[in-house]
Amino acid sequence: MPLRGSATPNITVVGAGVVGLSTAVLLQAAGYHVTVIASHTPDRYDEDAALYASPKAGAHWRSVAHPDDAKLVEIDRITLKLFQKLVKISDTGVIPMPSFDIYMDEHAEPLPWFKNEVENFNLLAKDVLYADTKWGFSYLAYTFNTPKYLAWMTRLFKRLGGKIAVKTLQHIDDAASPITAAVINCTGLGARTLGGVEDSNVYPTRGQIVIVRAPHVKYTITRLGDDIFDYVIPREDGLVILGGTYQEGADSMQPDPATAKRILENAVAICPQLQLWPGQKLDVVAHRVGLRPTRKGGIRLEHEWRAPSTPAAKRGGGKEGRKTTLVVHNYGHGGGGYQSSWGSAHHVLQIVHEQLAPAGKQSVAPAGVKSFDVAVRRILAVGNIKSKL
């Protein structure tokens, strides 16, 4: 049931990870009035919080979408195009970085869909391959200082006029007030247990990393094979993320010493430049564990109209109570939260535009609301901010 009033709609985004913040920023920049509700935010979170993975991610833009997966390809393409613009803004924690993907198996998969979308894409000659790899390619990627990027996104959201409330919800319906036109569910792993959602297809995939100081490393490299997932991701501050693990269903938040030892050994094997001289002991800064919010069936990007079901929600609408609220689900990104963030937000914006459009005018955005392109221009114009949270 589309919104029939003329006022700019109020929207609540649940979750303040990279997907939630990207969605909130885009909606706010498009002209909606957005409030983020989250248990954890970039400036207030517990390192051991199992449900808040974004600050503990590597991360770099490296799409794993199969060329035949048109929807995910488009999501990742939109994200790439925006990062190609955001990287020009200072203080985001995002930098361009030469990237190498190398494979233990013979070339059987098709070339990545982004071969014509990124700069400097090249197949690697066999005589430059090492570490028992059979083929690979290089390209210009983008790496993230994830805590810094999330902090920048939070500042941007607030500067655009958005609001953040630190609060833990037990049910998705409790995110809506009498004036809420839409709720966007970006709860990641929390979608497993959040009342009204309780998605049994969501499960954790454990990732363990070692953070070292190695400012001389100026490229990122990923080695892939059967049960092999090694990576080296430099950040702009001189720290380098070493990984990794991909343990489906595991949920321990404690770093495993044996795993850390293997990560360090494999990192040196694929990136000998980590050591300035043979046998040098790496300068370990920290060990981290995060739980990727994986979902059977991939990202859930769809909407529903919900009637209030909890006592608090039913009381919220006055004498007759609130009728229905648009709920858009945007979760289940697994390890692809950063590389799919803006494209997923774009899909949410399209759904909200269509569902909240004036009655009979689904091609027309609600009053005061702008298109994706206009919202992006506003993000780029407002984004050059350096003040602290």
Residue pointed to by tokens 């689900």: 329
Q: Tell me the C-alpha distance between 296 and 291, whole Å.
A: 15
Structure token pair of residue 84: 């190609």
- Give the Cα-Cα-Cα angle 93, 334, 182 (nearest 5 degrees): 85
**Feature table: binding site for FAD:** 43-44, 187
**Feature table: binding site for D-dopa:** 231, 292, 335
CB 90 within 8 A of CB 385: no
Nearest CA to 71 out of 270, 301, 230 is that of: 301
Relative to beta strand 33-38, strand 202-213 is unpaired
CA atoms within 13 A on the CB side of 170: 5
Q: Tell me the C-alpha distance between 160 and 382, whole Å.
A: 7
What is the phi/psi pair of residue 84, to 5°? -65, -20
CB 208 within 8 A of CB 245: yes
**Phi/psi zone of residue 380: left (φ > 0), alpha (ψ -120 to 50 degrees), beta?**
alpha
Residues contacting 279, CB < 8 A, separation 6+: none
List C-alpha distances in Å: 299 to 64, 306, 327. Answer: 13, 20, 15
Structure token pair of residue 360: 């009979």
Residues in the chain: 389
Residues contacting 386, CB < 8 A, separation 6+: 90, 91
**Feature table: binding site:** 43-44, 187, 231, 292, 335
Residue pointed to by tokens 């990923």: 222
